[in-house]
Amino acid sequence: MSRITLSRYLIEQTRSNNTPADLRFLIEVVARACKEISYAVSKGALGGVLGSMETENIQGEVQKKLDVLSNDILLEANEWGGHLAGMASEEMDNAYQIPGKYPKGAYLLVFDPLDGSSNIDVNVSVGTIFSVLRCPDRNGEEGDLGEEAFLQPGTEQVAAGYAIYGPQTMLMLTLGNGVKGFTLDRELGSFVMTHDNIQVPAQTKEFAINMSNQRHWEAPVTRYVDELLAGKSGPLEKDYNMRWVAAMVADVHRILTRGGMFMYPRDSREPEKPGKLRLMYEANPMSFIIEQAGGAATNGYQRILDIQPTSLHQRVAVFLGSKEEVERVTGYHQA
Ligand code: F6P
Ligand code: MN
């Protein structure tokens, strides 16, 4: 049987699913950048890339050397090809302008260049998350692209994906018609389709949450997690297992592979911030992927993909994964 590389899959999508050629090119370029990041991550201490910078990002988080390197790799790979009108990254304060010497295109690329980067120094999985939007019509307006162009609800995404740098490097992708998984064949240098038609089971016996924040949670989350912990003798009548990698890509990847429930709720530590995870760079692309695989994603009150963003670095509470569990905890927020 011939192997289906990412390139071949994208070309077939162009024919059968009307995927525009410049979107195909965009995904190819992102995938190439992810290969480069994967290589840098895998070198570890040998590449001199471990450890922190002396800088913080806009969220006040210490930047790792690999955060900055991954961000630069994605910017450089994507700025010249003529497929983008602009980019935005978790690691940059403002929208990135395509340099004037390069042509501009129809799309916006939004990314978390290295998710879970606190895992790097301990040799645990990290990843790159990305989301593609159409650039709104600027009515001939020249000049810098403002933040407003990016503030579109997740339903407007035309593609989303992530690369996970773990025991294998994989790229998971949705173009809005299901989710495909590709594994990097290091000898070939190509992503090869290994997971077709990915489906998240509607039920699960596994959940993921940072339990150390328990005392800060709101009542619906406490109620739900208490029920999970009560196991067979509780109202859910089954024993649950818990996993927490502390890299969203790795936790979501596990859920895509075998089901589960991922939660990062808002809590009372910083009441003005609705959660920790970022809507544009993390929650929207992951929610798009999870929904495309038959799962669900809410912030406890509404579908994440329906949220109208008000700022680039906005945070959001996330309940995502197996549909029946997401519906249950979302129901507790309405009670
Ligand atoms: O990007 C933020 C992030 O690293 C996610 O990848 C991950 O799910 C979460 O933070 C982990 O948070 P905590 O350190 O509170 O467990
Ligand atoms: Mn992240």
pLDDT digits (tens, 9 = 90+) for 38-69: 999 999 888 887 878 777 777 777 778 899 99
Which is higher by pLDDT, 268 or 242?
242
CA of 276 to the centre of ligand 1 (A): 8
Q: Six-digit token pair at 118?
A: 């606190």
Q: Six-digit token pair at 276?
A: 């920790």
User: Which pLDDT band, with edges at 50, 70 and 90, does 293 fall under?
Assistant: very high
Share of the chain above pLDDT 70, in %: 100
Residues 6+ apart with CB under 8 A from 250: 116, 119, 124, 125, 126, 127, 164, 166
CA of 117 to the centre of ligand 2 (A): 7
Q: Return the CATH fold of 6-195.
A: Fructose-1,6-Bisphosphatase; Chain A, domain 1 (3.30.540)
Predicted confidence (pLDDT) per residue in 313-325, tens digit: 999 999 999 999 9
Site to probe by mutation for ligand 1, drawn from 217, 277, 278 as the one with most ligand atoms within 8 Å of Cβ, is 277
For residue 320, the cross-strand partners are 262, 297
Backbone φ, ψ for residue 257 (5° rounding): -80, -45
CATH architecture for residues 206-334: 3-Layer(aba) Sandwich (3.40)
DSSP classification of residue 304: G
> For residue 119, which atom of ligand 1 is closest to its CA?
4
Which ligand has the minimum distance to the alpha carbon of residue 67?
2
Which ligand has the minimum distance to the alpha carbon of residue 71?
2
Chain-wide mean pLDDT for the chain? 95
Site to probe by mutation for ligand 1, drawn from 91, 115, 243 as the one with most ligand atoms within 8 Å of Cβ, is 115
CA of 175 to the centre of ligand 2 (A): 21
Q: What is the pLDDT of residue 102?
A: 96
Q: What is the pLDDT of residue 48?
A: 81
Cα(54)–Cα(39) distance, integer angstroms: 24
Domain boundary assignment for the chain: 6-195, 206-334
Q: What is the pLDDT of residue 1?
A: 59
Predicted confidence (pLDDT) per residue in 184-204, tens digit: 999 999 999 999 999 999 999
**pTM: predicted TM-score of the whole model, two decimal places:** 0.96
**Least confidently predicted of 57-61, 118-122, 240-244, 252-256:** 57-61
- Spell out which residues line ligand 1, taking CB within 6 angstroms: 115-116, 210, 246-248, 251, 264, 276-277
Cα(301)–Cα(276) distance, integer angstroms: 16
